[in-house]
Structure 1
Amino acid sequence: MRVLLVDDHALVRAGLTALLDAHPRIEVVGEAADGDQAVELTENAEPDVVLMDLSMPGTDGVTATRELLVRRPGTQVLVLTSFSDRNRVRDALAAGAIGYLLKDSDPQDVVNGVIAAARQGSPLDPRIARTLLTEGTVGPPPALPPLSPRELDVLRLVARGMANKQIGRALGISERTVKVHLGNVFRRIGVQDRTSAALWARENLQQ
Structure 2
Amino acid sequence: MTITPRILVVDRVPVFAAGVEAAFARMGHPVTLDHLKTLPALADLPATLPDVLLLEASWGAQAELELIRQLHLRHPQIRCIVSVCDGKAGLAAAVRQAGGSGVFNKALNPQMLVSLCLQVLQEDCFIPTSIGEAGQQASALGGPSLTARQQEILWLVAEGQSNKQIARRLSVAEGTIKNQLYSMYRVLGVSNRTEASRWWLHTAQ
TM range (shorter): 0.5 to 0.7
2:58 pairs, out of 55, 59, 68, with: 55
1:126 aligns with 131
Q: Give SS of 2:87's match.
A: coil
Stretches of structure 1 that go unaligned for 5 or more consecutive residues are: 134-151, 162-197
Given the alignment of the two structures, is residue 45 of structure 1 paired with residue 48 of structure 2, yes or no?
yes
What TM-score do you get using the length of structure 1 for normalisation? Answer: 0.55
Code of the residue aligned with 1:4 in structure 2: it is L
Please say if residues 14 and 35 of structure 2, whose CA atoms lie closer than 8 Å, have aligned partners that are also in contact.
Answer: no
Given the alignment of the two structures, is residue 106 of structure 1 paired with residue 109 of structure 2, yes or no?
yes
| 1:126-165 correspondence to structure 2 within 5 Å | 126=131, 159-161=199-201
Percent of aligned pairs sharing the same letter:
18
CA distance in 2, matches of 1:94, 1:34: 23
The 3 A distance-change label for structure 1 pair 72 and 34 is same
Code of the residue aligned with 1:126 in structure 2: it is I
Q: Give SS of 1:126's match.
A: coil
| 1:83-98 correspondence to structure 2 within 5 Å | 83-98=86-101
Q: Give SS of 1:100's match.
A: strand
Q: Pick the structure with more helix per residue.
A: 1
1:29 aligns with 33
1:8 aligns with 12
Stretches of structure 2 that go unaligned for 5 or more consecutive residues are: 142-188
Tell me the CA shift for residue 72 of structure 1. 0.9
What TM-score do you get using the length of structure 2 for normalisation? Answer: 0.55
Tell me the CA shift for residue 113 of structure 1. 0.9
Q: Give SS of 2:33's match.
A: strand
2:82 aligns with 79
CA distance in 1, matches of 2:30, 2:45: 16
2:72 aligns with 69
Please say if residues 69 and 75 of structure 1, whose CA atoms lie closer than 8 Å, have aligned partners that are also in contact.
Answer: yes
- The number of residue pairs the alignment matches comes to 144
The 3 A distance-change label for structure 1 pair 159 and 30 is same
CA distance in 2, matches of 1:157, 1:111: 13
Please say if residues 20 and 111 of structure 1, whose CA atoms lie closer than 8 Å, have aligned partners that are also in contact.
Answer: yes
Tell me the CA shift for residue 36 of structure 1. 1.8
